[in-house]
Chains A and B, each alone.
Chain A
Amino acid sequence: MKYALLVFSSPTHNGAHSALAFARAALAQGHQVARVFFYGDGVFNASLLQHPPQDETAIHGHWQALASAHGIDLVVCIAAGLRRGIVDSQEADRYQLPAHNIAEGFQLSGLGQLVEAGVTVDRLITFG
């Protein structure tokens, strides 16, 4: 079965970690995870600047590893990213922001990517 995940919560919320656990379990069972769309506070999963204490998880590294091993699209909503300060170099230049901070392997894009994911997969699961 082909899945897409909508991650609506930041890494300090259990939803973000449930999404990762779900993705791993689905892939282990031979399913496909085509895309993970990070929306709302979910965009914080894509910050390259996150550095939690040792007994907590720096989630972006886990998503990067999973995505490159399994060809998963990691898409961050550009509107939600700009609102919260998760940007790439292109948007930083466009709006003359002093820095950019999106982690490698995550791409900024629009809500159309969420709609397309929903249309093309069997199941779209929201983690809020």
Chain B
Amino acid sequence: MSVTTAKTLAYVFRQSPSASIAAKEGLDALLAAAAFEQTVVAIFMGDGVWQLHGDINAHALALPDLTRQLAALPLYDVDKLYVHQPSAEARGIKPIQKNIVWIDDAGLSQLLDNADQVLIF
């Protein structure tokens, strides 16, 4: 695949990893784009913020734990996880990751506006 300029792709995670496989499949799509050297922006909002909870125990429902995959993102040059603060506060979530960037509604709009494409999972 020939790539001229990298595009900025925003991946918006809105689902909990213990709800369905959608969270993991979204993360797989993000990693594929990062591996193909696109500029990737990872955004967590709504129930997507559950992916950042340290003890979600998705395994109990036969769903994969995403903690390790999220920890590996910096290896693909995805250094920041943008987390919608109102969503995290509403759910009482304190993320375990160190590379969180808190965003409010305006920040979320800005990120989506800056992206060439937005994929929603």
List residues of A whose CB falls within 8 A of some B CB: 6, 8, 39-40, 79-80, 83, 110-112, 114-116, 118-119, 123-124, 126, 128
Contacts and interface: CB of A to CB of B under 8 A. Distances in A.
A126 B9 CA distance: 12
B118 A114 contact: no
Contacts of A40: 21-22, 25, 121
A37 B16 CA distance: 23
- Interface range for B: 10 to 19
A121 B119 CA distance: 14
Contacts of B9: 118
**Most interface-central of B7, B29, B38 (chain A CB within 10 A):** B29
B7 A112 contact: no
Given A112-B36, A115-B36, A119-B3, A39 B29 contact: yes
22 contacts: A6-B119, A39-B25, A40-B22, A79-B28, A80-B25, A83-B21, A111-B32, A112-B1, A112-B32, A112-B36, A114-B29, A115-B1, A115-B32, A116-B1, A116-B36, A118-B9, A118-B33, A118-B119, A119-B1, A119-B36, A126-B120, A128-B120
